[in-house]
Amino acid sequence: MRLGMFMMPVHPPDRAMWSTIEEDTDKSLLAEQLGYDELWLGEHFSASTEPFPSPMMFFANLLARTKHIHFGTAVINIPNHHPAIVAAECAQFDHMSKGRFLMGVGPGGLVSDFELFKNPDHNARNRMVIEAVDMIEKIWSQDPPYDLTGEFWNISIKEGIDAKLGIGYMPKPYQQPGPPIFISLASPFSSSAKTAAQKGWGMISANIIPTYSVASHWKVYREACEAMGKRPSGDKWRVARNLMVAPSDAEAHDRVFSAQAANTYFYTYLREVLNKVGMLILLKPKGDMPDDQATVKAITEECVLHGSPSTMLDKLIAFRDKVGPFGGLLQTGLDWAGKNQEWERESMRLLAQEVIPKFRQHCDAQKQAAE
């Protein structure tokens, strides 16, 4: 059971970018100090609330200041990029990090980015992800000439090649045949879980979705594996979740539901954003719930796990029993306004030091019993 931090991030829109970068850097270094295994960061080009257009640029600033933690893009929104650029930049970062790189990809989820890059068609964006990653893996697997033709992109280097001078050769990653690839999942019964099974990719189930939706991802993945005669494994499945650990259950509850709590802002923001674009179903505790019943409080109660260390351990065990055998838990990083910095720092410490070691023991025992 790997422990990670996932930052969308979500900050108030009037905060200066430099201040959010500093805050999220401090959070990342704390995760390293506490022994977190992974750090994942989102990518958005057109939202001051989620102000990170380049996760790998952010990660590069952390390389010399960390030794253990692995860096994951969550995700590179493929329709916003040319596959050759993604292939080259990911290969470079994989070398810079000496293999501490996890390549998360997805179709994107921000409506203003869709407009910016003129990618409004959901089905087309999903096809773009598959085509681009296929091209990237081919680039990494061969020397020139390159001649790749697809529905959305054509990649060709056939004439400008000089083997003696190394001209025309695209970089290959440090990890061979390439870094682990993960795809993001948010919709209930997402077809991307089937793609992950077919391609051998990992999965990242979004932090904002209800329990039934997370469970549906494992169901789709498991059935796709079984249809191919493959044994399903959750080792490369990451589940992101909003978590709050406090010394007592009462304190944890207050730190989630109080008016100044970062979780309150987080779900108020997300509910308004997704409701405006007709995607409130992603947040609803039940798919058939009327919109007016899908309140911020109801969504928060469904999507946030909170409690003392012993309560959190019990909740994580019950949650994993419900959704499936995920191999990595990603704690959502929230805004640190007011008391939230103190609360989240303590939550991270208690999670890493008092909860996860026992949760790992439980998961290991389950795995051994199953074998």
DSSP string, 4-61: EEEE-----TTS-HHHHHHHHHHHHHHHHHTT-SEEEE---SS-TTS--S-HHHHHHT
Pairing of strands 304-307, 237-245: parallel
Asked if pLDDT for residue 166 goes beyond 80, the answer is yes
**For residue 303, what are its two tokens?**
């999507």
Q: What is the pLDDT of residues 112-140, one digit of tens each?
A: 999 999 999 999 999 999 999 999 999 99
Q: What is the pLDDT of residues 279-329, one digit of tens each?
A: 999 999 998 999 999 999 999 999 999 999 999 999 999 999 999 999 999
Asked if pLDDT for residue 82 goes beyond 80, the answer is yes
What is each CA distance from 287 to 218, 239, 317, in whole angstroms?
A: 17, 20, 24
Band (pLDDT 50/70/90 cuts) for residue 368 is confident
Residue percentage of the chain with pLDDT more than 90: 98
What is each CA distance from 208 to 32, 48, 204, 281, in whole angstroms?
A: 24, 19, 12, 11
Q: For residue 102, is it left (φ>0), alpha (ψ between -120 and 50) or beta?
A: beta
Asked if pLDDT for residue 58 goes beyond 80, the answer is yes
What three-state secondary structure class fits 361? helix
Residue 184's DSSP bridge partners are 204
Determine the angle formed by the axes of helices 211-227 and 309-323, rounding to 10 degrees.
40
For residue 65, give every residue at least 6 positions away whose Cβ sits within 8 Å of its Cβ, in sequence order, or none: 29, 32
Band (pLDDT 50/70/90 cuts) for residue 371 is confident
Average per-residue pLDDT in the chain?
Answer: 97
The DSSP output letter for 353 is I
Q: What share of the chain is helix, strand, coil (3-state, %, to 5)?
A: 50, 15, 35
132 phi and psi, to 5 degrees? -65, -45
Q: What is the pLDDT of residues 233-282, one digit of tens each?
A: 999 999 999 999 999 999 999 999 999 999 999 999 999 999 999 999 99
DSSP string, 283-294: T-SSTT--GGG-
Residue 244's DSSP bridge partners are 306
141 phi and psi, to 5 degrees? -95, -5
Q: What is the pLDDT of residues 187-214, one digit of tens each?
A: 999 999 999 999 999 999 999 999 999 9
Band (pLDDT 50/70/90 cuts) for residue 360 is very high
Asked if pLDDT for residue 356 goes beyond 80, the answer is yes
What three-state secondary structure class fits 150? coil
**For residue 338, what are its two tokens?**
């007011």
Overall size of the chain counted in residues: 371
- Domains, in order of start, for the chain: 2-74+180-370 (3.20.20.30)
